[in-house]
Amino acid sequence: MTNYTDIHTLNPPQRLLMGPGPINADPRVLRAMSAQLIGQYDPAMTGFMNETMARYRQIFKTQNKWTFLVDGTSRAGIEAVLVSILRPGDKVLVPIMGRFGHLLTEISQRVGAEVHTIEVPWGEVFQPEQIEAAIKRVKPNVLAMVQGDTSTTMNQPLAHIGAICAQHDVLFYCDATASIVGNELPADEWQLDALSVGLQKCLGGPSGSAPLTLSDKCVDWIRTRKKVEAGIRTAAHQDGTEPFIRSNYFDLGMVMDYWGEERLNHHTEATNMLYCASECARIVIEEGVDECVARHKLHGDAMLVGVQAMGLKVFGDIQNKMNNVVGVYIPDEVDGDAVRGQMLDDFGIEIGTSFGPLHGKIWRIGTMGYNARKDAVLQTLACLDACLQANGYKGPHGEATAAALAHYK
């Protein structure tokens, strides 16, 4: 039994994380995170905050002034957007195609919204007409949906949804935690009103910061719910005309007042996560956002042809698969947990299990962020091939890396 009173240095095992996220952080991100703290209102700190806002405008392909970070994991970004835009009783439409659509539903319910859902089976995506028909029927204030649902590996096409929302005067919110910079998502061109993400997938960082962007229309709406805390409030501060936001930490109006010119005190910005988020964005901008998406496609496709060459059946509608993750059915004759266990114990490589209706049926294999690399893809394929054979798999052996290498030629 572990003796937790031992004083020892933290020394995590060496792992290659090839699941659906988190993945190994880029070493440049880890170095940026270890920089020393500075004061909350040091001009250097507020300068870094402004610089981070500018960097995420490039990541999101937006001109939105209000592009900033919520401190917390991706779920904090989701909750901040939903609690800030939905008043109790407002109608929200959530198209559900996997676990994270259920999360948007759950958070909207807790916010007190009237939640309407439509569903497709896991492994499929929605057609724009299905969403438009539901919008016409429900007449929601907000459409909340996920772009890349990690639970199913599907990438919901969004190019036409923003125009539909604009036409019906619906605010369009998207959670792109798993898909950002691994798949195309130009926020302005696709008319998103609110978009939130996380760092731990294609952005190559750890979880703990949720970058987001809000359109002017969305900000104007949030401002109608404005509230400034006693203690920092002055006579010049006016409350909004609509009911105030039912969260202090996630009140995006107050968070904007902190990130904006007024620098009104709210939380203490998580300085090292700011460094981290900023460096994640810098690395992608240096590569180019489109080039980063193309790299995820290249290595994601190499993984796909590799698992197919191994004789594994791929889950879901491959045409609409995210570039950065693939689901494969666990062959009947093998024990899925035993294969994953051996990959971790003998090779130090992690691949993902699944949730809900897919639990025990598929593995999810990611190629994202720092790990969207040729060597990581080839090592994972070789290791999976070896572990499948060791666990009684009857399909092809020794084909996977050759197929992936051929793809790279």
> Could you list the residues that contact ligand PLP (CB under 6 A)?
21, 73-75, 100, 146, 149-150, 175, 177-178, 198, 207
- Which residue's CB is nearer to ligand PLP, number 177 or number 278? 177
Closest CB 10 distance from ligand PLP, rounded Å:
22
- Which residue's CB is nearer to ligand PLP, number 24 or number 73? 73
- Which residue's CB is nearer to ligand PLP, number 108 or number 207? 207
Closest CB 231 distance from ligand PLP, rounded Å:
30
Nearest to 258 by CA among 46, 33, 85: 46
Closest CB 81 distance from ligand PLP, rounded Å:
12
Closest CB 79 distance from ligand PLP, rounded Å:
9
- Which residue's CB is nearer to ligand PLP, number 154 or number 388? 154
Closest CB 153 distance from ligand PLP, rounded Å:
10
- Which residue's CB is nearer to ligand PLP, number 148 or number 331? 148
- Which residue's CB is nearer to ligand PLP, number 203 or number 334? 203
Closest CB 388 distance from ligand PLP, rounded Å:
26
